Structure 1
């Protein structure tokens, strides 16, 4: 009994509008603001940004760390990331506003919109400052033009630097990531493999969470076969599978990539067959 049309597996690519920049991150140039009036929060952040550039390295103190965690930034990121970690897709109560390119290396991008992501404490801890390059590292050319476009500067480095760490807002991972029924995750793609290993996306807690999705589906199907007359089984199963599909399309749910992979790999049909014969 098959209800699903197969499609390519993929992880979730985050869509961020890099033109919709939180006002607190805008560089303090009058032409970037409505009515040519520079916002107070933006002015302070810009002053800190220019101090870092003058210093030539990041200054790790609350005075600077607080500037990329302001409320307008957090709210936008939480909405964009659907309350989930950029790397593991886990919903957690505590989110860290963090950096794709490490601020300790790319100090001038510490307050740049296209370099800020939402991460759980665990992925963020394991990621740390790991950021291997396959190309040549970029440095800042301190001109007004570059400072004005600094909120979109990080992604322009990708072609030259060839970073190994996946940027969830840039990389389109269709067909590159694979899962096991036990919730494990792997990839033959060097960038995704590097990211999975460095962020520990196959750690036990995450594997268990992904596996539970299949275990719960199996329990529902088994219950449908055990408690319904033969004529009633099919509509009940259709409802179970339709609900699973809807949950797999709701980006607010955890582990969407695993759910979609399960569908594309025909695991639902396998479970149906196994439970029917049980």
Structure 2
């Protein structure tokens, strides 16, 4: 997990409320936006989410998926793997927070596995909010989820709000862990330490180790030193390239001198 920066003012067109604050005259509201807003108001009036295709597709519109793909760099919000098949996921479950089903600050990008494991897990340490249908709340519907954060104190982490860096730790085998209750909950429920992810993270170090070993086979000492230095520099550059997967693991390895330990071991 890494911190994600989303501009809550850059709301995708299809998620905007069909109100005069956004469209004047109302006759200028685009059809997709108007339809989504009608569905939003139906959920609010019904007091529940209706799990049907015509409603489910409203939060997966191309402009939403494109915007989230750019923000998350086509990586999962939780495990950070690159994903071709991404799910537009609700941070706060739509079955519980029906009024946020089409809200910009409640939509994140997740891989199918983290999305499935996360499911509707959403325990709170604080007080659950309720929704009142007022004009002000409808106007701010795309930022309400973020405004609930410090009242509800959810155990499930939202990387758009909380920076994971100070709270997560890795092991050299690729496992991720935390002593902080919210991160422990998120890692457990989303299974971010599952075998596949551990293997993929560990492979980054194994590949580095193999490359260093290959450099040490060179007969020239100066060539060895130059080659090793180039590999260390490349690992560091890759940890700054945000489109790469597992940035948090790469940076943790650098901060904790794992690269130096690998080189020392081989020498």
TM-score for both structures, normalised by structure 1: 0.94
Q: What's 2:77 paired with?
A: 86
The 5 A counterparts of 1:192-203 are 192-203=183-194
Q: Confirm whether residue 97 of structure 1 aligns to residue 85 of structure 2.
A: no
**Could you tell me how far 1:153 is from its partner in structure 2?**
0.4
Q: Confirm whether residue 271 of structure 1 aligns to residue 262 of structure 2.
A: yes
Aligned with residue 57 of structure 1, among 42, 48, 51:
48
Higher relative contact order (CA 8 A, sep 6+): 1
Q: What's 1:4 paired with?
A: none
**Could you tell me how far 1:237 is from its partner in structure 2?**
1.1
Q: Confirm whether residue 214 of structure 1 aligns to residue 242 of structure 2.
A: no
How far apart, CA to CA, are the structure 2 residues paired with 1:50 and 1:228?
73
How far apart, CA to CA, are the structure 1 residues paired with 2:203 and 2:77?
21
Change (3 A) 1:24 1:228: farther
The 5 A counterparts of 1:105-254 are 105-254=96-245
SS in structure 2 of the partner of residue 201 of structure 1? coil
How far apart, CA to CA, are the structure 2 residues paired with 1:158 and 1:205?
31
8 Å Cα contact 1:114-1:153 kept in structure 2: yes
- For residues 45-72 of structure 1, the C-alpha deviation after alignment (integer angstroms, 9 at most, x for no partner) is 0000000011110000001000000000
TM-score for both structures, normalised by structure 2: 0.97
Gap runs ≥5 in structure 1: 1-10
**Could you tell me how far 1:77 is from its partner in structure 2?**
0.3
SS in structure 1 of the partner of residue 88 of structure 2? strand
- For residues 157-211 of structure 1, the C-alpha deviation after alignment (integer angstroms, 9 at most, x for no partner) is 1111110000010001232100000000000011111000000000000000000
8 Å Cα contact 1:114-1:154 kept in structure 2: yes
SS in structure 1 of the partner of residue 108 of structure 2? strand
How far apart, CA to CA, are the structure 1 residues paired with 2:133 and 2:189?
32
8 Å Cα contact 1:30-1:38 kept in structure 2: no
Aligned residues between the structures: 266
Q: What's 2:6 paired with?
A: 16
- Alignment root-mean-square deviation, CA: 1.1
Q: Which moved more, 1:120-129 or 1:31-40?
A: 31-40
Gap runs ≥5 in structure 2: none
